[in-house]
A and B are shown apart, each in its own frame.
Chain A
Amino acid sequence: MTIKGILAFAAMGFAGSLAMAEVAPENVAYTDGAIETSLTGTPGDPVAGEKAMTTASLGNCVACHSVTALEAYPFHGTIAPPLDGAPDRWSEAELRGIVANAKMMFDGSFMPAFYKSGPYVRPGDAYTGKAGTEPLPPILSAQQVEDIVAYLMTLKE
C-alpha cells in the first residue's frame, strides 16, 4: 500500500468508528424523556460543557437559565428555572434527554431541542434567514450534549 493509500484507509476507519459510536439525532431513543446511554461513548468534559453553555452560537443556556457557578458570564436570562442543583432533581439520563430534546420531557416546552435534525417549520440555515435543508445539523454535536450533561452533573447543591 502506498503512503496515500494508508492515510486514506486510516481516515475511513476513523470516520467509520465515529459513525458507529455516535447516535444520530434521528436514532435517539427516549424513555419518559430520558436518554439512558451516552450518545458517543466518550465521557463528557465539564470544561467544554461550560463553554458550550455560555456560547451564544452553541447551547446559550444562560440566555434563559441562571446558573450561580457561571456568574462570570453576564446577563443570565429569567425565562427558565435556575439550574443550580439540577442533578439533585434529575438523573444523568434525564438531563441528557432534557438537553437533547426538552420537549420529550416537558410537553410543548419553550426550550429548544439541541440534538434534533427535523422536521421543522421553515427550517433555516442557522441565523442567516435563508432556507436550510433537512436533516439540519443539530445545534449541538453529540459530544457537546455529553459535555453539557457532565457540567450539569457538577451543579449538586
Chain B
Amino acid sequence: LAVTGMASADPVDDELIIDGDLKIVTQAPAPEHLQDVMDTIWSGWHFREDDTRAMQMDDFDNPGMIFVDRGLDRWNASMGTEDKSCASCHEGPESMKGLRAVTPRVDEATGKVMSIEDYVNDCVTTRMGAEALGMTSAPMKDLLALISMQSRGEIVNVAIDGPAAPFWEQGKEMYYTRYGQLEMSCANCHEDNYGLNIRSDHLSQGQINGFPVYRLKDAGLVTARQRFVGCVRDTRAETFGSGSDEFKALELYVASRGNGLAVEGVSVRH
C-alpha cells in the first residue's frame, strides 16, 4: 500500500564566487561513507533564494562580516586574571588557518571531541583565567566567525576513523533516530527529502560547512549547535543542550557528511 512521494533534489545550479575571485566549492561528490545514500553533496547555499545567495557573493553585502570584525576586536582584547588576549599567544588570527576544515576532531591529549568553541573555552578558562564563554554567547560567536573565516575556501576534511570512530558512530546513530512526537530524524528531512518543500521551507541537506551562518530571519549569527537545538525541538522532542556531548558527536558526524565541500567562512541563509 505504499504511496511514496519520491525525493527529487533540485538545488539551484549556480556557482559561489566571492567578490569576483574566490571560488567556493559548494557541490562535490559524496564522501565514501555516504555513497550508498547520495551521489552529490551540496551546501545549503544552493537551496536559498537568488537574493540570499547573492548576499554571500559580496563580503560588503554579507551581514555576517560585521561579526568577523567584532571577533577581531575580541581577539585583541585582554581578559581574565592573566590579562592576556588571544593575540598574546596566537599572534594574528591567521594562525587559526585550516582549523575550521578539520574540526570537530578528537583531541589527542584528552580523548575529547573538540569543536572550535571547545578550544576557545579551553584557552579562556585554563590559559586566561576567565569564565567560560557561553556556547552561543555573542563573544563566542564573534570569535567563531573570525576563526572560521581563516579557513574560507578550504575543503572540509573531518577525520572519522581512529579515535573519532566511536563518536562518529554515536553521531550517526543520532542522525537516523526519529526523535519527538513527530518521530522525525535528521535523515527524514535532510537525506530523504532535500530539494522538496516542507511548507515554505526548501529543505537542504543540512550541511554545516557554511557555519556559522548569518540568518536573515534571526538577524544574527547562528552556530551549528544552535541549529541542531532548533531542528530537534521542531520534532516536538526534548532537545539536547548546545554544549552537550551528544551534540558534539552529532556535529562531528554532520561535518563529515560535508567532507569535500569548502568552508564558507560566514554564510548567509534566510
Interface string of B204-237 (1 = CB under 8 A from A): 0000000000000000000000000100111111
Q: Is A124 an interface residue (CB 8 A)?
A: yes
Can you spell out 21 A-B residue pairs with CB atoms less than 8 angstroms apart? A33-B1, A75-B197, A77-B196, A77-B198, A77-B199, A79-B198, A89-B3, A106-B2, A110-B184, A110-B188, A112-B181, A120-B180, A120-B183, A122-B232, A122-B238, A124-B236, A127-B236, A128-B233, A129-B229, A129-B232, A131-B238
Q: Is B20 an interface residue (CB 8 A)?
A: no
Interface of chain B residues 146 through 185 with chain A (CB within 8 A): 177-184
Q: Determine the distance from Cα of A79 to Cα of B1 in the docked complex, in whole angstroms.
A: 18
Interface string of A28-68 (1 = CB under 8 A from B): 00000100000000000000000000001000101110000
* 18 further contact pairs, Cβ within 8 A, besides A77-B199, A79-B197, A79-B198: A63-B198, A77-B198, A81-B3, A105-B1, A106-B3, A107-B2, A112-B181, A112-B183, A112-B184, A120-B181, A121-B179, A122-B179, A122-B239, A124-B238, A127-B233, A129-B229, A132-B181, A136-B181
Interface of chain A residues 115 through 137 with chain B (CB within 8 A): 116, 120-132, 136
Q: Is B197 touching A123 in the complex (CB atoms < 8 A)?
A: no
Q: Is A95 an interface residue (CB 8 A)?
A: no
Q: Which 7 A-B pairs have the closest CB atoms?
A: A129-B233, A75-B200, A131-B238, A63-B199, A129-B239, A124-B237, A112-B182
Interface string of B47-87 (1 = CB under 8 A from A): 00000000000000000000000000000000000000000
Shortest distance in angstroms between A55's beta carbon and chain B's nearest beta carbon? 12
Shortest distance in angstroms between B49's beta carbon and chain A's nearest beta carbon? 14
Q: Which residues of B contact A (CB under 8 A)?
A: 1-5, 177-184, 188, 192-193, 196-200, 229, 232-239
Q: Is A69 an interface residue (CB 8 A)?
A: no
Chain B binding surface SS class: loop
Q: Is B196 touching A79 in the complex (CB atoms < 8 A)?
A: yes
Chain A residues whose CB sits within 8 angstroms of the CB of B199 once the complex forms: 56, 60, 62-63, 75-77
Given A63-B199, A79-B193, A131-B238, the answer on whether A122 and B1 have CB atoms closer than 8 Å is no
Q: Determine the distance from Cα of A62 to Cα of B180 in the docked complex, in whole angstroms.
A: 20
Measured CB to CB, the nearest residue on chain A to B203 is A79
Please give the number of chain A residues whose Cβ is less than 8 angstroms from any Cβ of chain B in the complex. Answer: 38
Q: Determine the distance from Cα of A123 to Cα of B177 in the docked complex, in whole angstroms.
A: 13
